[in-house]
DNA sequence: TGTAGTTTCTTTGGCAAAGG
DNA sequence: CCTTTGCCAAAGAAACTACA
């Protein structure tokens, strides 16, 4: 998708880009090799420069160049070109306030390998593992997960970051991650009843009683969220490209990876209905 | 070529939504 | 509970057009 992108050039809107596509300018090459361009003087100058730079930066696998020049609404375009270097991630915490609460677990998924990190066990390993990726994807992570990680783990976490909340929102899907999954018929396989609040209670149970099954259930929930992020990203990417002339960019939806973390339904049922003071 | 007038892009501010 | 972001409207800054 990036090779077809022109709207990261100064003074060039997505509408201008649309008209370029309609006039037959499909890729950066078509601009660079063209005798004369159909836009206004300053736009043409900038566009020529942008297309040359873009070819260079894509050749260098430099995601930041595109991230910094594209309008935020168009960040989804980075996905296909940087898919091999993309990490999906999600955190669970003891609450929403990052001054009072801390991270309990993190799950990291790159489409092949699923890794998890646990507070006071191996949480810090996340810091070096995430460095291998050039693009990170989350749901509402720009305002929640990423600032929480920066504060808690003291890392910059400054990779280009696609927040699916806003991508899905622009496609008409709103109401939170679980709601988006339902609208798109994405399965939650035995974890339908777990939510962020229960994640706190599962963690408390693990800490209080050393209940390993509670931790595994929490990690299974955390992992499922992250696995579904990839599916959502691909569906969103396909719907976005369907709005352009470049439908051949469609990505097949992957089959779910095998899960070794097994949620414990007995614990889920037990915790369901407990209020924030731990009473039934 | 210089400048007024118009179009187009960018910045600013207040509001609502989402995460555990 | 708190923070960040996108959205939308309005104002501001650039750049383009027309005309003498």
pLDDT 10s digits, A12-70:
888 889 889 988 999 999 999 988 888 888 888 889 999 999 999 999 999 999 998 88
Q: How far is the CA of A74 from the C1' of C5 (A)?
A: 14
Residue nearest to nucleotide C14 (CA to C1'): A11
Give, for A185, the enclosing helix (H) or strand (E). none
Cα dihedral sign, A171-A240-A92-A97: negative
Instruction: Evaluate if the CB of A139 falls below 7 Å from strand B.
Output: yes
The CATH homologous superfamily to which domain A80-272 belongs is Ribonuclease H-like superfamily/Ribonuclease H (3.30.420.10)
A278 has pLDDT over 50: no
Q: How far is the CA of A39 from the C1' of B5 (A)?
A: 21
Chain C positions under 7 Å from a protein CB?
1-7, 15-17
Question: Where do the domains of chain A lie?
Answer: 2-60, 80-272
Name the phi and psi angles at A178, rounded to 5: -60, -40
Residue nearest to nucleotide C2 (CA to C1'): A97
Query: Cα A70 vs. chain centroid, distance in angstroms?
Result: 17
The token duo for A31 is 């601009």
Q: What is the pLDDT of residues A85-142, one digit of tens each?
A: 999 999 999 999 888 899 999 999 999 999 999 999 999 999 999 999 999 999 999 9
**Sequence-ordered strand ranges (E) for A15-85:** none
Q: Residue A72's pLDDT band (boundaries 50, 70, 90)?
A: confident
Common-topology check for domains A2-60 and A80-272? no
Characterise A169 by phi-psi region: left (phi > 0), alpha (psi -120 to 50), beta (else): alpha
Q: Does domain A2-60 have CATH number 1.10.150?
A: yes
CA distance A142 to A163: 6
Nucleotide nearest to A10 (CA to C1'): B9
Beta bridge partners of A114: A109
| Beta strands A114-118; A161-163: pairing state | unpaired
Residues 6+ apart with CB under 8 A from A279: none
The DSSP symbol for A248 reads G
CA distance A214 to A149: 23
Residue nearest to nucleotide C6 (CA to C1'): A166
Nucleotide nearest to A169 (CA to C1'): C6
CA distance A40 to A13: 13
């Amino acid at each position: 998708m990036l090779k077809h992108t022109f709207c990261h050039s100064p003074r060039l809107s997505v509408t201008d880009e649309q008209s370029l596509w309609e006039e037959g300018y499909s890729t950066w090459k078509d601009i660079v090799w063209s005798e004369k361009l159909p836009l206004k003087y300053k736009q043409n100058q900038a566009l020529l420069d942008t297309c040359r730079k873009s070819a260079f930066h894509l050749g260098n696998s430099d995601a930041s160049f595109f991230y910094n020049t594209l309008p935020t609404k168009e960040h989804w375009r980075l996905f296909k070109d940087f898919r091999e270097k993309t990490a999906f991630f999600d955190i669970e915490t003891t609450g929403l306030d990052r001054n009072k609460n801390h991270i309990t677990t993190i799950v990291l998924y790159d489409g092949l390998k699923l890794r998890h990190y646990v507070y006071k066990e191996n949480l810090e390993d996340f810091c070096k593992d995430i460095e291998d990726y050039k693009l990170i994807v989350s749901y509402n992570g720009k305002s929640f997960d990423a600032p929480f990680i920066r504060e808690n783990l003291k890392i910059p976490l400054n990779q280009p970051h696609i927040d699916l909340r806003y991508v899905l929102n622009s496609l008409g899907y709103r109401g939170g991650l679980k709601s988006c999954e339902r609208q798109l018929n994405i399965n939650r396989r035995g974890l339908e009843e777990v939510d962020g609040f229960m994640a706190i209670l599962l963690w408390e149970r693990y800490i209080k009683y050393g209940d390993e099954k509670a931790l595994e259930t929490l990690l299974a929930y955390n992992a499922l969220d992250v696995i579904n992020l990839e599916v959502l990203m691909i569906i969103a990417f396909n719907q976005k490209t369907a709005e352009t002339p470049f439908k051949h960019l469609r990505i097949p939806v992957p089959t779910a990876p095998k899960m070794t973390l097994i949620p414990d339904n007995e614990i889920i049922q037990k915790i369901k209905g407990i209020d924030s003071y731990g009473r039934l």
